[in-house]
Amino acid sequence: MADFSLNFAQWAHAVSWLALTIALLLGLGRTIVFDRTDPIHCNALLQRGTWLDSAFKNWQPDGCMSHKYSVDDASSCLKGQKVVFVGDSVTRTLFYQFANLLDPKLPTGPPDDNGKHADYTILTSSGIQISFYWDPYLNGTHLRSIISDKPQVDASRPGLLVVGGGLWYLRYPESGGLSAWEGNIQHLVTSLAGSSLSSSARDIVVLPVEDVVPSKLSSERANVMRLSDIDAMNADLAHRIFPVAEDSVFSLSLPAAAVPIALPSVFNAMLDPSQTQDGLHFSDVIVRAQANLLLNYRCNEVLPKKFPLDKTCCRRYPSPSFLHSLILLVLVMWGPYLVLVAHKAGGHGRITIRSEELPAVIFSAATALVYIADRTGFWLKEQKQFNSWTFTAGMLAIVASGFAKVKVADGDLGYLNRDQTDEWKGWMQLVILVYHYLGASKVSGIYNLVRVIVAAYLFMTGYGHTTFYIRKADFGFLRIAQVLVRLNLFTILLAYVMNTDYISYYFSPLVSLWFVVIYATMALGATFNESTPFLVMKFIISAGVMTWLMTEEWPMNMLFEILQHFCGIRWSAREWRFRVTLDLWIVYVGMFTALAVIKIQKHRLTDHPKWPLVVKSSIVASALTMVWYFAFELWQEDKFVYNKWHPYISFLPVLAFTILRNATPLLRSVSFTAFAWVGKCSLETFIIQFHFWLAADTKGILLVLPGTWWRPLNFLLTSIVFLYLSHQVSEATGQITKWICGSTKKPASLPTAAPEPRREVLFDSRGEQSVPLMERNGDASKDQNAPSLVAPAAQPGRWLNRLANSPPTPHLPSLNSWKGPLGVKGKLAIGVVAMWICNLLWSYDY
């Protein structure tokens, strides 16, 4: 019989690789079949889509992301150009909504009924001329002059020509009806096909004949406007613009247009019977979405291609510069190069990936996968949509996964022990992931809670680092290097690979900043750190200095200007101040908490007869605080009002949670294994989600399985690959950090408050010297016993099984270059100089 005694790690590894293989095959197959005729999803934008919400505010083109155009975006695209609309009353409604998108001060309809059949010309505040010519039969002199073969000078040529009509042929049969329509459309299409774009317009759009709602039409209209006739007219129009060639009979995608005309057939799919009163003219919200679609068609390719790349319909991805390509090539080939070098040196019969090269291979594979996911069209991207039922289901799934396996320690592990903080980070990270995936930031009540989750991460940063420095007093450079490299290595590389900026991945820079602040606070006058009043004074002074630096605009503005002029770094001082000031004091709450816990243990206050009363009182107060906080945050008018309160109150629910979570010895000894596993790679899950799982620099979601209706299955498939990738990158980053820093000792995981033995230990395979997003605050002696969903196994021979089960060995003969005489400072100096040169030579699209 077959042996099915695989451990959990091997099963997880196999399932993850199967999911990744399926995703790659789906991407390859879709690219070959569909992208042959529609590589930049213009046809998808114009032909297929669906509403994601019942309010008709989030239209989703099939397989790509549309952009909601602002006045500035639209003006930048069409500045100095003319836009011409020709047609009937349906086209006129679109004309007014289009003009209002470009300038909100413009009207959304004709001034009075007497002027309904007149021509209009409007000039926007940015100088864009928008004209409408009343021509319901599409045979007027204005249209004929535009599409004539006579060349027009560039200044008079419209940047966009929109033509729409047809219903009048049905409304007034004496005009000739369908036969007259067909003849006129034949002439129109033939004229456009026979003329060059330079003699008509830059972009030409012929609108489909609009579907009507027969039940809401007047009796006169209902007798002559039949849906069957409208369908026949649209079929004829589509056949003339997209003639079916013999070789495309079996094609699954729409053939390329034979004439330079765009036909947005999807306009009829955007209509809903509830959004019309007369059965013919639809609400502003529908028509405005149609106008926005026209801007996506005309402007997406024109706007600067800078991150976030949240416009994937009718838009090519930017080509990387030479320097960008070089960095990408080096990172992608780094792992394979080391494997080949080791293979040649060892003289093996076949190429194998040893544990020594495995971290580099993981980094290379992760870099390639993330780049392919979010900087190419290999996989699709679509827009987010919040749904309260889906969000609730996601939260319930998180709870269920947490209870799948519970770990109970033998004794009391102490306040905020390592298992507990891993668990805390894990479930908070999962909540953040679902929050981002569904775009729940629009819901104030959920946004406010996630703000507290971020504050809790920073609380752990203050608590953990302060605990370490009070107990260890290790202020050496090696620990600084290890922590900062571990927190920032993958983030910095990703910023170059994806052509983003470092502070856009705000958790890494935020936690790094606070680590430096805590280090400076604790290191200054460190010989007096045994004095509680002295530490309290330092904490208060540090908080005052940080408050001044972040509330005054000029210090950060000056610093960022210096970085831009001398280092080529283009960061937003305003965005950075917002990120820091939103949680300006929670780190200091963590620092004061660490000091209090250490002093309570030192003076054995838990042995005092009144301590049980203090504990019970704290539990009651904490429970009441949590109830008050939930009521308060839900009561706020919106998230902007809440943000003003957040820095002053966020510590209340955070401290209340820690007290309730540590209320009894049993609660302190219990942890949820699945959450702890995610907590160990929470930095990587936060960073990688920007481009894989989410997409478009977090503005959309990644679809490896084509089709909006397959979103639930797509969620499952991408989640498996995403979590597996994050876990592997986390372990590889920890190992590479050890290579760079070159020490056999680690800056111990931050000590717990529990009275456990304190001793230095070696790095573990995950490089757990620093907790993703925050430092761990478990005792150093517990680092080798960290909870993991990956059970230990015997060392198998195949590298795939080693990847699933075993840490890389500390002996790395293929990386001797990292062990030269340079030392940590030399290696880091080389890295800083390399980044400085790259920043100065980097080319920007803005």
pLDDT digits (tens, 9 = 90+) for 491-524: 999 999 999 999 999 999 999 999 999 999 999 9
In a domain, 688, yes or no: yes
DSSP H or E run through 132? strand 129-134
**Is 79 found in the same domain as 208?**
yes
- What gap in Å lies between CA 310 and CA 386, rounded to an integer? 17
DSSP state of 116: T
**423: CB partners within 8 A, 6+ apart:** 671, 672, 675, 676, 679
Q: List the beta bridge partners of residue 120.
A: 132
pLDDT at position 754, please? 40
Q: List the beta bridge partners of residue 164.
A: 87
Phi, psi of 162 (to 5 degrees): -120, 120
In terms of C-beta density within 10 A (0-12 exposed, 13-18 middle, 19 or more buried), how is residue 288 classed? Answer: buried
- What gap in Å lies between CA 60 and CA 640, rounded to an integer? 28
**Is 510 found in the same domain as 656?**
yes
Coil, strand or helix at 824: helix
Coil, strand or helix at 203: strand
Total number of domains in the chain: 2
**Is 428 found in the same domain as 287?**
no
Final residue of a domain: which of 299, 315, 350? Answer: 299
Give yes or no for a contact between 838 and 331, defined as CB atoms under 8 angstroms apart.
no
Secondary structure of 738-784 as H, E, C letters:
HHHHCCCCCCCCCCCCCCCCCCCCCCCCCCCCCCCCCCCCCCHHHHH
Final residue of a domain: which of 264, 299, 334? Answer: 299
Tokens of 592: 């004061």
Other C-beta atoms lying within 10 Å of the C-beta of residue 554:
8
In a domain, 68, yes or no: yes
**Is 410 found in the same domain as 269?**
no
In a domain, 169, yes or no: yes
- What gap in Å lies between CA 519 and CA 349, rounded to an integer? 51
- What gap in Å lies between CA 61 and CA 708, rounded to an integer? 9
The CA-atom distances, in angstroms, between 727 and each of 24, 201, 221, 490, 804 are 19, 53, 63, 13, 10
- What gap in Å lies between CA 133 and CA 140, rounded to an integer? 9
Whether residue 796 has a cis bond before it, omega within 30° of 0: no
Query: β-pairing, 160-164 with 82-87?
Result: parallel
Domain residue limits at 523: 403-782
**Is 411 found in the same domain as 290?**
no
In a domain, 242, yes or no: yes
In a domain, 477, yes or no: yes
Tokens of 721: 């690959």
Give yes or no for a contact between 670 and 408, defined as CB atoms under 8 angstroms apart.
yes
**154: CB partners within 8 A, 6+ apart:** none
Place of tokens 């942890």: 671
- What gap in Å lies between CA 820 and CA 715, rounded to an integer? 46
- What gap in Å lies between CA 260 and CA 819, rounded to an integer? 62
In a domain, 372, yes or no: no
pLDDT at position 342, please? 86
- What gap in Å lies between CA 679 and CA 404, rounded to an integer? 16
Give yes or no for a contact between 233 and 209, defined as CB atoms under 8 angstroms apart.
yes
Coil, strand or helix at 406: strand
Place of tokens 């889906």: 390
- What gap in Å lies between CA 124 and CA 50, rounded to an integer? 31
- What gap in Å lies between CA 50 and CA 34, rounded to an integer? 19
**Is 622 found in the same domain as 473?**
yes
Tokens of 518: 């805590």
DSSP state of 789: S
Coil, strand or helix at 366: helix
pLDDT at position 190, please? 84
Give yes or no for a contact between 255 and 271, defined as CB atoms under 8 angstroms apart.
no
Tokens of 818: 């990292």
Instruction: Give this prediction's pTM.
Output: 0.86
Among candidate residues 36, 148, 138, the one with its CA nearest the CA of residue 87? 138
- What gap in Å lies between CA 703 and CA 23, rounded to an integer? 9
Active-site annotation, residues: 89, 278, 281
In a domain, 515, yes or no: yes
- What gap in Å lies between CA 526 and CA 543, rounded to an integer? 17
Question: What are the start-end ranges of the H helices in 79-165?
Answer: 89-102, 141-146
**Is 776 found in the same domain as 627?**
yes
Rounded to the nearest 10 degrees, the angle between the axes of helix 586-602 and helix 532-551 is: 170
pLDDT at position 354, please? 84
Instruction: Put residue 525 in one of left, alpha, beta given phi > 0 → left and psi -120 to 50 → alpha.
Output: left
Rounded to the nearest 10 degrees, the angle between the axes of helix 711-741 and helix 673-680 is: 60
Please give the distance of CA 336 from its chain centroid, rounded to a whole number. Answer: 29
Phi, psi of 672 (to 5 degrees): -100, 115
CATH code of the domain in which 192 resides: 3.40.50.1110
Tokens of 174: 């004496």
Q: What is the DSSP string of 58-84?
A: -EEETTS------HHHHHHHHTT-EEE
pLDDT at position 735, please? 94
Coil, strand or helix at 324: helix
Strands of 612-713, DSSP E: 670-672, 694-695, 700-703
**Is 480 found in the same domain as 593?**
yes
**457: CB partners within 8 A, 6+ apart:** 425, 428, 507, 511, 773, 774
Final residue of a domain: which of 782, 804, 831? Answer: 782
Phi, psi of 10 (to 5 degrees): -70, -40
Q: Which residues does the chain have with pLDDT short of 70?
A: 1-6, 113, 149-155, 194-200, 244-259, 347-348, 743-821, 845-846
**Is 535 found in the same domain as 408?**
yes
Give yes or no for a contact between 407 and 670, defined as CB atoms under 8 angstroms apart.
yes
Other C-beta atoms lying within 10 Å of the C-beta of residue 443:
17
Q: List the beta bridge partners of residue 61.
A: 49
**Is 663 found in the same domain as 515?**
yes
DSSP H or E run through 158? none
- What gap in Å lies between CA 130 and CA 570, rounded to an integer? 37
Strand order in the sheet with 203-206: 120-123, 129-134, 82-87, 160-164, 203-206
Give yes or no for a contact between 585 and 651, defined as CB atoms under 8 angstroms apart.
yes
In a domain, 559, yes or no: yes
Phi, psi of 160 (to 5 degrees): -150, 130
**Is 286 found in the same domain as 416?**
no
- What gap in Å lies between CA 239 and CA 231, rounded to an integer? 12
**Is 689 found in the same domain as 546?**
yes
